[in-house]
């Protein structure tokens, strides 16, 4: 007797449900910003001046990784600095790479590269310039971003005050030759490890009975880094700063001579400056000269720097007196715009290729490559087919000549050259057009 084996019930197919969350809207991360084409005209002006100044004064270009070991900045920039305490982007990787951070500034990385590459033995003094992005996790506000560009100078291996002045002059020229107006340098000396302790002691005595009236950050600075009390921007701390002991009264004789020499060099170079005894800068490694550069219409400094004679020792290198400065590119661009500084249009094209019909478009495509090989910048409008729309683009681009190809011109191997100002036209053989345009541009 056959045995009936019951079949398993057929499973009902269930269509998986796709959960739809909130609509995704692509946008840049908080504090990050896009650099759009219109801004690059200003950035390229700054870069052009940076290269010219660097070439003249003998600075060599250097580029360091965007990511460095966290310890580099803890030792170099300083554990008590706001950059290390609050602003570093720390990275977590899949491998066993140790603690890494996006660079918040250039100087420690450039110093590391100078030691690690061996240039410390062959290039003394070491003179470098750089340009690139840095990252700081701070509250975004006007002129302050979490990703920003810096460009700057470093001179390693000399305590000569002439080099302090040269860094100041180079930074001043970077802004002045970019056509910014009314540039002022604020400068100070914060002494060395021999004379600074006596001043810090006096400063702590002055602030001792005022701690309860200080802002939260200054209450911490009193313990960790009293010199930074003079760097506070909070309104409630300003009256105390104004009455604080003056650092220049406590400089040792070598520091006084050094600072006097720096000012004499700046006088000789006719660089305008103001001595500001509350200026200390925010990084732990500074010694002696510190400075910041301002311009009309901007409350914040566009650039700043100073001397750092003990940095290399903290990084495990030799004792190398050094000095440097960095400029914030975004703030410089804002200043250029605020002062209505005109920058040349990025387009250098003098002519636009215009076509009518498919055969003319193909010929225009080939002709464009001939202009490229001849080093002549010519624009095209391949996404437009009508003569009128292409002529509108010629007007918009501000070109002087329209080079017009139709089916007839292709057949006769000629091209029409139209003067966009006068409207006059002439017909020129195609084989001569590159040579002819070369004469006119």
Residue intervals of the chain classified under CATH 3.40.50.800 are 351-440
CATH class of the 37-195+251-338 domain in this structure = alpha beta
- Could you check whether the bond before residue 125 is cis, i.e. omega within 30 degrees of 0? yes
Assigned CATH topology for domain 351-440: Rossmann fold (3.40.50)
pLDDT score for 8: 47
**Are residues 72 and 79 in contact, defined by beta-carbon separation less than 8 angstroms?**
no
Backbone angles phi, psi at 160, to 5 degrees: -65, 125
pLDDT tens per residue, range 329-352: 999 999 999 999 988 766 677 888
Helix (H) or strand (E) holding 254, with range, is helix 253-268
pLDDT score for 186: 96
pLDDT score for 228: 83
pLDDT score for 347: 60
pLDDT tens per residue, range 287-300: 999 999 999 888 88
Q: Average per-residue pLDDT in the chain? A: 86
Residue intervals of the chain classified under CATH 3.30.930.10 are 37-195+251-338
pLDDT score for 1: 42
**Are residues 172 and 266 in contact, defined by beta-carbon separation less than 8 angstroms?**
no
Enter the tokens of residue 314: 């903290």
- Residues 181-198: what's their mean pLDDT? 93
**Are residues 174 and 53 in contact, defined by beta-carbon separation less than 8 angstroms?**
yes
Please state the pTM of the whole predicted model.
Answer: 0.83
pLDDT score for 257: 97
234 three-state secondary structure: coil
């Amino acid at each position: 007797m056959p045995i009936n084996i019951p079949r398993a019930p057929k499973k009902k197919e269930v269509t998986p449900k796709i959960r739809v969350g909130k609509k995704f809207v692509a946008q840049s991360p908080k504090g990050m910003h896009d650099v759009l084409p219109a801004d690059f005209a200003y950035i390229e002006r700054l870069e052009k001046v940076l290269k010219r100044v660097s070439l003249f004064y003998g600075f060599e270009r250097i580029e360091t990784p965007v990511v460095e070991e966290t310890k580099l900045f803890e030792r170099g920039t300083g554990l008590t600095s706001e950059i290390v305490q609050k602003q570093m982007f720390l990275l977590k990787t899949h491998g066993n790479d140790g603690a890494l951070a996006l660079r918040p500034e250039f100087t420690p990385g450039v110093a590391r590269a100078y030691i690690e590459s061996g240039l410390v033995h062959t290039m003394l003094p070491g003179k470098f310039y750089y340009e690139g992005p840095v990252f700081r996790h701070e509250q975004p506000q006007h002129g302050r971003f979490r990703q920003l560009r810096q460009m700057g100078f470093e001179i390693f291996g000399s305590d000569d005050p002439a080099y302090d002045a040269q860094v100041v002059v180079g930074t001043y020229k970077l802004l002045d030759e970019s056509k910014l107006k009314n540039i002022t340098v604020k400068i100070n000396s914060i002494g060395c490890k021999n004379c600074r302790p006596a001043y810090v002691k006096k400063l702590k005595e002055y602030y001792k009975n005022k701690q309860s009236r200080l802002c939260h950050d200054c209450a911490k600075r009193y313990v960790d880094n009293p010199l930074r009390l003079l760097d506070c921007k909070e309104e409630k701390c300003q009256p105390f700063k104004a009455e604080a002991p003056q650092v220049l009264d406590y400089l040792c004789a070598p520091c006084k001579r050094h600072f006097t020499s720096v000012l004499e060099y700046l006088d000789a170079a006719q660089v305008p400056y103001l001595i500001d005894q509350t200026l200390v800068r925010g990084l732990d490694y500074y010694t002696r000269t510190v400075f910041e550069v301002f311009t009309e219409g901007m409350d914040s400094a566009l650039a700043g720097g100073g001397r750092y004679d003990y940095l290399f020792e903290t990084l495990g290198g030799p004792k190398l007196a050094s000095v440097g400065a960095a400029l914030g590119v975004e703030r410089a661009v804002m200043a250029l715009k605020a002062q209505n500084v005109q920058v040349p249009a990025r387009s250098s094209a003098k002519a636009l290729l215009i076509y009518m019909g498919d055969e003319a478009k193909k010929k225009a495509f080939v002709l464009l490559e001939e202009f490229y090989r001849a080093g002549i910048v010519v624009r095209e409008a391949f996404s437009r087919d009508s003569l009128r729309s292409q002529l509108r683009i010629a007007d918009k681009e501000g070109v002087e000549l329209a080079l017009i190809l139709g089916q007839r011109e292709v057949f006769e191997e000629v091209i029409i050259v139209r003067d966009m100002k006068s409207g006059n036209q002439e017909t020129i053989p195609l084989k001569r057009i590159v040579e002819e345009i070369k004469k006119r541009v």
